[in-house]
Amino acid sequence: MNQHFKPNSIAGRDVKAHLHSQTNPRRFEEQGPLIVTRGEGIRVFDDAGKPYIDAMAGLWCASLGFNNARLAAAATKQYGELGFYHTFFNRTHEPATDLAETLLELTGMKGGKAYFATSGSEANETMVKLAWVYHTVRGKPTKRKVIARDRAFHGSTIAAASMCGLTFMHREFGLPIAGFLHTLCPDPYRGTLAGESEDQFIGRLVGELEKLILREGPDTIAAFIAEPINAGGGIIVPPRAYFARLQAVLAKYDILCLGDEIVCGFGRTGNWFGKETVGMKPDMMSLAKGLSSSYFPISAVVLRSEIYEAVNEFNKAGGSFGHGFTNSGHPVGVAVALETIAIYNEMNVVEHVRRMGARLRGHFEAMADRFPIIGDVRGAGLMLGIELVADRESRTPFDPALQAGLTFDQIAYDNGLIGRCMGDTLGFSPPLIVTEKDVDEIAERCEKSLKELHSRLRK
Ligand SMILES: Cc1ncc(COP(=O)(O)O)c(C=O)c1O
């Protein structure tokens, strides 16, 4: 252990005892943790009392900020009434029933079913398993493979990580496992070829997908999975006609479309669900994060009735759906999710996100006029990205050794702003409760940090 931490300090003890997710071990041992002691609205405070605006809502998730009293009260009330019960073997409780109905209504999946799990990864893996049941029951048991996209993020468990299209999720573990394939990422800024129109770009993306399906054999492909807007891969908004044309190919080969709404769901993109923002029509959707503002680890899958019917049919001889998590439909999780959704409704989340998102985007676009290192401003609602470039005209990226994005994050952090770089794309996904004043403050701190970055990069 690095000697510069006092052995009994939280930092010293944490460095000694705690293995952190998505953290470089050596850098962590050197730098130690950011110790977060409390939250207040969109701000968190470190152990020295310094406030930060968390413009990422933690991990794209704390949509109602960091100390919402109503969510705390909903959890406390539910703990007092029924602190745990499971949903195996025909068991339920009213909050779980209420949330299942609410989700079907909100997602437009009426007549279908809602299934509960505890993490986004579990929800995504549940969708894969349901796709397998669906095809098996319909006499197509060889349909097993799943196609995801380059730069996708779908979680950390083995199949979910295999669906990721990011090398950092694969390299230590020898992933992806067999049967998990990847196709092109619909990134208009980086993916469009010189002279290619949007229509031609979409045609090429969809053509590549079809080639992959034909190469593997359509009778081996169960499902395609995508986020409406790719979050962790760099806030990538596909061209408007992309999903409609892509889904025509999926339909042609009887391939299910799985929508990962774990980040995009619950207002984030300026609609209740990202599918509305991009014109996607999924057969199943995975939900987490904003579902409970991450005040409780709860996730869900909503599925079309045909998929439920397959589960029913498979078990007609008396077997049980062989799937489930101890905490599926945990009473406190569903109570917190119901309260979260009630608050979204009261604050008119969609309209609010559209207004705040347009204001923040306006600030970023104005900054692009002042900073030539801004190559692209993109996103939807309160899910925005700024891509930094060495040369705007030619879209030439910075030399990766400069670590422009990471340097921005460090400067911003010193300026009391938590963002998240994905390579040289700066992500902004603040709590959805941001006010006009908050948005202006995020922009001010961002601009100040960009100025410092700009002068450092020129040295
Ligand atoms: C789009 C997307 N899908 C899935 C996941 C995985 O969720 P979890 O970390 O809850 O397993 C994440 C997490 O960041 C995500 O961003």
Q: How far is the CA of 120 from the centre of ligand 1 (A)?
A: 5
Q: Is 329 in the same domain as 389?
A: no
Nearest CA to ligand 1 atom 7: 120
Domain end call among 346, 367, 398: 346
Helix ranges, 87-197 (H): 94-107, 120-137, 158-163, 188-191
- Please state the atom number of ligand 1 nearest to the C-alpha of residue 264: 1
Instruction: Sheet containing 51-54: give its strands across.
Output: 36-40, 43-46, 51-54, 417-418
Give the separation between CA 221 and CA 223, rounded to whole angstroms.
6
Amino acid at 135: H
Q: What is the CATH number of the domain that holds 196?
A: 3.40.640.10
What's the distance, CA 423 to chain centroid? 17
So what's the pLDDT on residue 1?
Answer: 45
Please state the length of the chain. Answer: 459
**Which of 158, 185, 262, 286 most suits a substitution to test ligand 1, by most atoms within 8 Å of the C-beta?**
262
- State the chain's mean pLDDT as an integer: 97
- Residue position matching structure tokens 């998730």: 61
Nearest CA to ligand 1 atom 2: 154
Domain end call among 289, 316, 346: 346
| 408 close to 446: Cβ distance less than 8 angstroms | no
So what's the pLDDT on residue 458?
Answer: 81
Q: How far is the CA of 359 from the centre of ligand 1 (A)?
A: 27
Q: What is the DSSP letter of 236?
A: B
How many angstroms separate the most distant Cα atoms in the chain?
73
Q: Is 302 in the same domain as 211?
A: yes
- Residue position matching structure tokens 């709590």: 431
Q: How far is the CA of 275 from the centre of ligand 1 (A)?
A: 17
φ, ψ dihedrals at 250, nearest 5°: -60, -45
- Please state the atom number of ligand 1 nearest to the C-alpha of residue 288: 10
Q: Which two tokens stand for residue 28?
A: 């962590």
**Which of 153, 286, 293, 422 most suits a substitution to test ligand 1, by most atoms within 8 Å of the C-beta?**
153
φ, ψ dihedrals at 21, nearest 5°: -70, 145
- Residue position matching structure tokens 């309209």: 351
**Which of 125, 154, 163 most suits a substitution to test ligand 1, by most atoms within 8 Å of the C-beta?**
154
Q: Is 95 in the same domain as 176?
A: yes
Give the separation between CA 432 and CA 356, rounded to whole angstroms.
8
Give percent of the chain above pLDDT 70. 99
Residue ranges in the chain whose pLDDT is less than 50? 1
Domain total in the chain:
2
Q: How far is the CA of 153 from the centre of ligand 1 (A)?
A: 7
φ, ψ dihedrals at 452, nearest 5°: -65, -40
Q: Is 7 among the domain residues?
A: no
Q: How far is the CA of 123 from the centre of ligand 1 (A)?
A: 9
Domain span holding position 43: 34-67+348-458
Q: How far is the CA of 291 from the centre of ligand 1 (A)?
A: 12
| 387 close to 375: Cβ distance less than 8 angstroms | yes
Q: How far is the CA of 312 from the centre of ligand 1 (A)?
A: 28
End-to-end CA distance of the chain: 34
Pocket of ligand 1 (CB under 6 A): 59, 119-121, 124, 153-156, 227, 231-232, 260, 262-263, 288
Q: Is 176 in the same domain as 285?
A: yes
| 298 close to 292: Cβ distance less than 8 angstroms | yes
Write the pLDDT tens digit of every residue in 292-326. 999 999 999 999 999 999 999 999 999 999 999 99
Nearest CA to ligand 1 atom 4: 154
Q: Is 23 among the domain residues?
A: no
Q: Is 410 among the domain residues?
A: yes
Q: Is 17 among the domain residues?
A: no
Q: How far is the CA of 29 from the centre of ligand 1 (A)?
A: 26
